[in-house]
A and B are shown apart, each in its own frame.
Chain A
Amino acid sequence: MKRIKILIFLFSIFNFSNAQNYYLYVASESDDTVSLLKFDGKNIEEKERITVGSYPTEIEGPHGITVDPNGKYWYVSLAHGNPYGKLIKYSTETNKVVDETTLGLFPASMQISKITGFLYCVNFNLHGNMKPSTVSVVDAETMTEITQITTGSMPHGSRISSDGLKQYSVAMMSGELYEIDALSLKILRKLDLEDHSKMNHNNMKMDKMKHSIVKPTWVIPHPNQNVLYVAGNGSDEIIEIDIDKWAISKRIKTEKGPYNVEISPDGKYMVATLKSVAKTAVWEIKSGDLIKTFDNSNSVPHGVAISSDSKYAFISVEGVGGQPGIVDVIDLENQILVDKVEIGKQAGGIAFWKKDI
């Protein structure tokens, strides 16, 4: 009986003082730092700023960041190298380097499949001439780049389907969506995202790489429906794709410059940064309604990470020049901007790590 009482007491404490803490990592591309942030439901703070890269006098540009499905390691891509960029693996326990491997030109966004354990990172290659680039596939366990899969020009927004079996990315300059089989490491399907009803093809030289009007910058699969959402950064729209039909099912008009898009894990909200107008928009997916558009704390909002309980969206904001990067926190249930924190310059890649008590 005494034991039961103790248990009841502990349970009560657990339930009545269960202040949730949320942790996330954010890369600051022009400071060569990654910040570990903690949000307690009211306030967000920088717990640690980790210097990344190996050249003190060169900007190596941490761009993409992700945490593995087990939460044991985080991975950051360094965009600039000699000339290839790198992927660095860190322990979440110590925030120290565990291993690294070389990727392609300007490795950017990435995610790990819970099935294969492989990390799929797009090589954005924004340098000069537009030409097809690649998706690097890395075995995150051995940190070996297994293969590079050639896709379109300036691939970005690497995201994995919730079953871990497909990888999606968009090619910004060639306006295409790619679906890769996470197991066979082959391209399964490609979709032209352009609205050809609005395009003038008269002056187009077909032998050259096409230049996209849509300029897609991000793709995110819905966690439990067979649809994808693509940010049309050039055409100011979010494009909904029916995965089964492999066709565009809806074009949702937005303000200027949608850049990154995420869906809350419960599938309820879609959150997109509107880079050109320094705003972040939130939609309710079921109704398709735009719920609210938030002014970000500074210009050039970049990435979105949503807490595992779907309560909060964290928005990285780059700023300009010497301004610090910022992370804004949006309470998705109450649709309010809760707090912000300043971090290193050009805050970009952002990844949710964990929620704990």
Chain B
Amino acid sequence: MKFLLSQSLILSLLFLKIGFAQNKTIVSDLENLTLNIGQLFKPVSTVVLSDGTTGDCKRIIYYNKKGVFSSAKSITFDRSEGTLKANEPGTHEIVAVCIDSQGKRLSKTFYVNVNYPKVKEIKVSINEKNVYEGNYIKLIYEITDELNNKRIVDYWNYENASKYFSKVDVSLKSSNEKVKIDESNNILALEEGNSTIVVLFDGVSASIDLKIKKNPVAKLNLESDVFNARSGDVINFKAIAYGKNNNKLENLPIEFSFTGKSFDKSNSASGLILEDGRFVGDVPGKYIISARIGNISSSKIVNIFPRNVKREISNVGRGVVNDRHTSDFWIFEGIDGGDYGVTGTWGADGTAFFWDVSDPSNLKKIDSIQVDARTVNDVKVSQDGKICVISREGASNRKNGMIIIDVSNPRDVKIISEYTKNLTGGVHNVFIDNNHIYALSNGERYYIINVDDPAKPYEVGMFELKKEGQSIHDVWIEDGIAYSSNWRDGVYLVDVGNGIAGGSPSNPVSFGNYSYDSGANHATFPFKSKSTGKFYTILGDEIFPNGVNPNGTNETAGFLHFVDFSDLNNPVEVARYELPGHGSHNYWIKDDILYVAMYSGGLRVVDISGDLLGDLYKQDREIGYLLTGSPNGYIPNDTMVWGAQLYKGHVFYSDFNTGLGAAKVSSNKPDNSKTNQYIN
């Protein structure tokens, strides 16, 4: 009976709950709200029940769904005044959260539109001095809005331009039929004469008067002394134009292009040609290079043959570390003239190992040191082979910092000092140069520490970008220039003693910078090409597209960006080394050969001689590779190369799962005798 009563009671309660439960929602004047930039608005919101009555809402809190970082300044809040401010155009999600007197919350997202500022002024220009019939006219737009923001939209930046053009009404009209404007607003000069182009952006117009000249060119010669080249070789084509009187014409807007056919029927010809006539063929084949002005053109054929740089790369020796992960390493000549190495360990017990590498086929562990850390991510040795610095992360007292070690006897290394000032957040990378240690602090900046007396290190300088969210991953010093890799801010070239910008370790002076879209700049290596004299910085990405797989192969991505820094004020990204399916990590360059750890893609050796242009991997510049996984690795058979260093003719490497290794690039071509042995 009691059971029946309790059942009835539960059912009654359920009925009551269902019977009285009402849907409720937040009603706000944020709904369909449109604001102008700079406008303040004080929202009013109430909770409304399904029967139309007003519900309980003790407190209402508004926020921008983009968060609080720079990307979220589009709409900001003054919670004291209860107002919001429109800062950026577009549609923004504003969340209203209502807390009732019972402590229950209700939230709703509203879409607030902020008008794009009206276009105030348009200027249209072209770069070419003369416009000739038969050529496309490359208009440049300078758009100023009512808030005096300026946008430059040039012909070759159409991806960005199209985003803008989709937001405003754009139309182009010509005064006559001497030009043809296509549906994408490209303008082709058709015949000699004057024509005015009128550009209309959201009702604001501008015009440009074009004087289309008759094509003065009677003959065009495409010149180059190269008829046969290898894949990856850069060929400089020069187009020389002649008038009717066979007179040479200068400064004409000549357009270069190419077509081609691969020798391999299943492959596609590919390459790159620049506006100045530089051409590179990626794939062996026959290529027709053309230069054109108006209806006058000239072509030339080049044969691109295989680069033929493949060499045998063999593993010479291993210093296996398979009870923990291995991190960075450094090979050095000791003060006794012997050859030694040091390796760090990752996510373990703070150990660094020291190695005798005099015989690369017999790498011998000769000493180790353990510090209070979980990760010794980076290790470096001074040029004189006397001191080593190791970084610390995961120290039990959370002071981290770095440890300076006496390695004058690598068989009996001794800690000289610990340095933690300003380095408590963990040191990820370090470098030693001329009695100074450059140590990263929490991935935000680097400190410069004098170690004239390694027992008494002291800070002399610091470099940071002074930006919100500044971030740094690595620093490398060469010839008194520090190359710091700053993720989305790219590489910074800083004078720390070179003299180029009057800098010193105590007064680091930045004088160059280059960044790129992916924002994944993780390492940088300076490269003065022996074969061309050009100066490059090679910027490496670090990307793990699928996060962490703790027990197996981690997918890696990203590539090396080759930036021609010959003109410090105008660095130009000219080439890339991208290994499909594998990402880049640390690398080394010597005599125009790149030795790069491509993580899961193994140790790769790449010919980077000559001019560099385009996709170096496609150009078959790879000399060879070595997969460094081992059946008895920490993760068996899992190649994960961390870094590479060429030292006295051997390529040393460290692998996350196998430890230290030494490889040799042979002068022999690879033995392909067993390739496709089952195919006739």
Task: List residues of chain A with CB under 8 Å of any chain B CB.
Answer: 3-4, 7, 29-33, 51-59, 61, 80-84, 101-102, 105-106, 114-117, 126-129, 136, 139, 141-142, 144-148, 163-164, 183-186, 299-300, 318-323, 345-346
Contacts and interface: CB of A to CB of B under 8 A. Distances in A.
B73 to A, nearest CB: 13
B442 A53 contact: no
A128 B422 contact: yes
Most buried by B among A31, A56, A319, A320: A56
Contact of B374 (A53, A102, A321): A321
Given A115-B103, A128-B423, A146-B68, A183 B61 contact: yes
Contact of B443 (A56, A83, A144): A83
Contacts of B99: 115-116, 183
A83 B444 contact: yes
A320 B396 contact: yes
Contact of B396 (A4, A58, A300): A300
Nearest to A54: B547
A184 B67 contact: no
Contacts of B424: 126-128
A256 B348 CA distance: 28
Closest 9 CB pairs of A and B: A322-B349, A127-B425, A127-B442, A30-B374, A30-B394, A54-B547, A146-B63, A128-B422, A321-B349
A80 B426 contact: yes
Most chain B CB within 10 A, of A116, A128, A129, is at: A128
Contacts of B11: none
5 contacts: A4-B3, A30-B375, A51-B548, A115-B99, A183-B99
A102 B548 contact: no
Interface residues of B, number: 65
B103 A56 contact: no
Contacts of B441: 127-128
Contact of B61 (A58, A80, A146): A146
B350 interface: yes
Nearest to A321: B349
Nearest to A141: B107
B350 A322 contact: yes
B61 A185 contact: yes
Contact of A321 (B58, B95, B396, B398): B396
A322 B348 contact: yes
Contacts of B80: 186
A150 to B, nearest CB: 12
B69 A102 contact: yes
B642 A57 contact: yes
A144 B346 contact: no
B549 A56 contact: yes
B514 interface: no
| Most B CB within 10 A of own CB, among A115, A146, A345 | A146
A141 B108 CA distance: 11
A145 B63 CA distance: 9
B471 interface: yes
B114 interface: no
In this complex, which of A101, A116, A320 has the most chain B Cβ atoms within 10 angstroms of its Cβ?
A320
A333 B428 CA distance: 46
A140 B540 CA distance: 36
B485 to A, nearest CB: 11
B607 interface: no
B80 to A, nearest CB: 8
A148 B68 contact: yes
B74 interface: no
A202 to B, nearest CB: 25
Contacts of B66: 144
A230 B436 CA distance: 42
B550 interface: yes
A195 B547 CA distance: 48
Contact of A186 (B79, B425, B444): B79
B593 interface: no
B601 to A, nearest CB: 14
B470 interface: yes
B3 A82 contact: no
A145 B3 contact: no
Nearest to A276: B397
A57 B396 contact: no
Contacts, number: 165
B349 A56 contact: no
A91 B351 CA distance: 36
Q: Interface SS of chain A: helix, strand, loop or mixed?
A: loop
Interface string B73-114: 000010110000000000000010101000101010100000
B115 to A, nearest CB: 24
A126 B348 contact: no
Contact of B95 (A105, A139, A300): A139
Given A4-B3, A127-B424, A32 B372 contact: no
B442 A51 contact: no
Contacts of B394: 29-30, 59, 61, 345-346
B252 to A, nearest CB: 48
B544 A54 contact: yes
B67 A83 contact: no
Given A30-B374, A128-B422, A51 B349 contact: no
B61 A345 contact: no
Interface in B516-544: 542, 544
B237 interface: no
A147 B68 contact: yes
Given A29-B394, A142-B65, A147-B63, A127 B95 contact: no
B59 interface: yes
Contact of B97 (A102, A116, A164): A116
B347 A55 contact: no
Contacts of B347: 30-32, 59, 345
B612 to A, nearest CB: 28
A135 to B, nearest CB: 12
A320 B68 contact: no
Contacts of A127: 422, 424-425, 441-442, 444
A126 B396 contact: no
A59 B374 contact: yes
A212 to B, nearest CB: 16
A31 B393 CA distance: 12
B125 interface: no
Given A80-B426, A117-B105, A185-B61, A101 B67 contact: yes
B548 A55 contact: yes
Contacts of B640: 57
A127 B444 CA distance: 9
A101 to B, nearest CB: 6
Contacts of A117: 97, 105
Contacts of A129: 422
Given A4-B3, A30-B393, A321-B349, 5 more contacts: A59-B346, A142-B95, A146-B68, A321-B350, A322-B350
A105 B470 CA distance: 11
Nearest to B104: A115
B549 A346 contact: no
Contact of B346 (A51, A57, A81, A186): A57
B443 A82 contact: yes
B442 to A, nearest CB: 4
B130 to A, nearest CB: 49
A339 B550 CA distance: 28
A222 B539 CA distance: 54
B469 interface: yes
B487 interface: yes
Nearest to A29: B394
B656 interface: yes
Contacts of B64: 144
B398 A126 contact: yes
B370 interface: yes
Nearest to B348: A322
B105 A83 contact: no
Nearest to A320: B396
A183 B63 CA distance: 13
A186 B80 CA distance: 9
A164 B548 CA distance: 36
Contacts of A146: 61, 63, 67-68
